[in-house]
C-alpha cells in the first residue's frame, strides 16, 4: 500500500505541478498577451492614422515639401519663418486665443446654468434635453448655412429686424472685421453648449439629494448650493470638459472655413485655416506641417497643465 501510495502521491504532485504550470501559462496569456490582442486592432489603426502621419509631419516640417514629389531638407527654416516673418501666423494665433477664451467661458457657463435649471425638472425633462442636444448632432455644414441665412442682413432675421425698424441690425455680422469672430463663435457655441449641458446634467444627477438637504438645513441659498454642492459634485466632468474644450478650441476649423475661410482681411483666420491654405492652396505642405506642429505644441502645453494639476492632488 505504502509504495503505490507514494507513487500515486508523486503522480498527483506531478499533475498538480503540470496543472499549475499550465495555469501559470494560461494566466500569463490572459494577463500579458490577451489584453494586447484586444487592443491590437485599434492600436494598429492609431499607428497608421495618427502616429505615422504625426511622425511624417515632424519630418516634413523640416523640409520645403510642396505636397507632392520630393522634399528637400531645410532645417528649422519653416520655424524661423513662423517666428520672425509670418504676420498671418501671429494674428491667427491671437484669434485662437480669443476663441479659446470665448469657449472656456460662454458655453461652459451656459451649460452649467442650463443643467442646473433643467436638473430639478421631472415632467418633460426628456424634451428639454433633446431640444437642447439636437444642434450637437447636426452636421457643421448644415448649422453654418442655417445661421448664414438667418444672419443675412437682407433675407434673414437681421433683415426682418431691419424691416421692423430695429436700429443697428442692417449689418452683415460675418462681413465685418470686428464682429466676424464672435459671430462664428456664437454659431459654433449654439451647436456645442447643449452637449456640455447634457454631460453636466448627467453628473448632477449622480449627486446625492442628501447633500442638498444638508446644505439647506445649514441655511444655504440656491447659489451656495450650486457653488458648494453642485460644482464639487461634477468637478471631474467639468474639468475634463474644460480640458477637451481647450484642446478642441486650438483645432477648430470647420465653422470658420465654411463661413468665411478666415476673412474678411484675416479677421477670422485661425491656425488650422493657415495650415489648410498653405498645404492645399499655396503648395507649402512643409510649412503647413510646421504650423501644425506648433498647434500640437500648444495643445501639449494645455495637457501638461492638467497633468501637473492632477499630480498636485487636484481631483481631475
Partner 1 sequence: MTSRRRYHHLIILLALALLFTIAPTGAVTQAQDKAQVSMWFNSTGGAEGANCIIEQAIDTFNEQSDDVEVTATLQANSWDATRTALAGGGGPDIVTTPGPSFAFELAQSGQLLALDDFAAEYGWTENFTPWALQLGVVDDQLYSIPSEVETLVLYYNKTLFEEHGWEAPQTLDELMALAEEIDAAGIIPFAHSNAEWRPTNEWFVGEFLNHVAGPEKVYQALTGELEWTDPEFVSAIELLTEMQQNGWFMGGLDRYYTTQTATTFAMLAEGEAAMKIEGTWAVSDLNTYFGEEGGNANEWDWVPVPSAGGDPIFDLGIGTTYGINKNAQNPEAAAEFLSYYFSPEVQATLAVECGVVPAPVEIEPDALEGLDPRYAEIIAAMNEASEAGDYGYTTWTFWPPRSDVYIYDEIERVWAGDTTAEEYLQGLQSLFDEEVEAGDIPPIPER
Binding-site string for partner 1 from residue 138 to residue 157, where x marks contact by CB under 8 A and - marks none: ----------x---xxxx--
Among 15, 20, 25, 176, binds partner 1 (CB under 8 A): 176
Min dist. Cβ of residue 101 to partner 1 (A): 23
Distance from chain centroid for Cα 203:
18
How many residues in the shown chain lie near partner 1 by CB under 8 A? 30
Q: Which stretch binds partner 1 (CB under 8 A): 61-69, 117-125, 241-249, 290-298?
A: 61-69
Among 97, 113, 172, 247, binds partner 1 (CB under 8 A): 172
Q: For residue 152, give the C-alpha cell.
A: 443675412
For residues 275 and 160, is the Cβ–Cβ distance under 8 A?
Answer: no
Type and span of the H or E element at 84: helix 77-84
Min dist. Cβ of residue 267 to partner 1 (A): 8
Min dist. Cβ of residue 146 to partner 1 (A): 14
Distance from chain centroid for Cα 142:
20
Min dist. Cβ of residue 164 to partner 1 (A): 20
For residues 292 and 277, is the Cβ–Cβ distance under 8 A?
Answer: no
Contacts with 118 (C-beta within 8 Å, 6 or more apart), sequence order? 125, 128, 129, 132, 197, 201
Among 102, 174, 187, 246, binds partner 1 (CB under 8 A): 174
Give residues 62-91 in contact with partner 1 (rule: CB under 8 A).
Answer: 64, 66-70
For residues 220 and 160, is the Cβ–Cβ distance under 8 A?
Answer: no
CA 293 – CA 312 distance, rounded (Å): 28
CB nearer partner 1, residue 62 or residue 132 = 62
Amino acid at each position: 500500500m505504502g509504495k503505490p501510495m507514494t507513487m500515486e502521491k508523486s503522480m498527483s504532485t506531478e499533475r498538480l505541478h503540470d496543472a499549475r504550470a499550465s495555469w501559470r501559462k494560461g494566466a500569463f496569456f490572459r494577463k500579458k498577451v490577451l489584453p494586447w490582442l484586444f487592443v491590437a486592432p485599434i492600436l494598429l489603426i492609431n499607428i497608421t492614422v495618427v502616429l505615422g502621419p504625426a511622425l511624417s509631419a515632424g519630418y516634413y516640417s523640416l523640409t520645403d515639401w510642396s505636397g507632392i514629389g520630393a522634399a528637400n531638407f531645410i532645417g528649422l527654416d519653416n520655424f524661423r519663418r513662423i517666428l520672425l516673418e509670418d504676420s498671418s501666423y501671429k494674428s491667427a494665433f491671437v484669434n485662437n486665443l480669443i476663441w479659446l477664451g470665448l469657449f472656456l467661458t460662454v458655453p461652459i457657463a451656459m451649460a452649467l446654468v442650463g443643467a442646473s435649471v433643467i436638473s430639478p425638472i421631472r415632467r418633460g425633462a426628456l424634451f428639454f434635453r433633446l431640444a437642447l442636444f439636437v444642434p450637437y448632432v447636426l452636421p457643421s455644414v448644415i448649422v453654418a448655412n442655417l445661421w448664414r441665412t438667418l444672419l443675412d442682413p437682407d433675407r434673414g432675421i437681421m433683415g426682418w429686424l431691419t424691416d421692423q425698424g430695429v436700429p443697428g441690425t442692417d449689418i452683415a455680422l460675418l462681413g465685418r472685421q470686428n464682429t466676424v469672430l464672435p459671430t462664428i463663435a456664437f454659431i459654433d457655441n449654439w451647436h456645442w453648449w447643449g452637449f456640455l449641458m447634457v454631460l453636466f446634467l448627467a453628473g448632477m444627477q449622480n449627486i446625492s439629494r442628501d447633500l442638498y438637504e444638508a446644505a439647506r438645513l445649514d441655511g444655504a441659498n440656491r447659489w451656495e448650493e450650486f457653488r458648494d454642492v453642485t460644482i464639487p459634485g461634477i468637478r471631474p466632468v467639468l474639468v475634463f470638459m474644460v480640458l477637451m474644450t481647450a484642446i478642441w478650441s486650438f483645432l477648430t476649423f470647420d465653422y470658420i472655413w465654411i463661413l468665411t475661410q478666415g476673412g474678411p482681411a484675416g479677421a477670422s483666420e485661425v491656425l488650422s485655416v493657415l495650415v489648410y491654405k498653405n498645404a492645399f492652396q499655396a503648395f507649402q505642405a512643409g510649412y503647413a506641417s510646421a504650423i501644425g506642429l506648433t498647434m500640437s505644441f500648444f495643445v501639449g502645453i494645455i495637457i501638461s497643465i492638467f497633468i501637473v494639476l492632477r499630480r498636485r492632488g487636484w481631483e481631475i
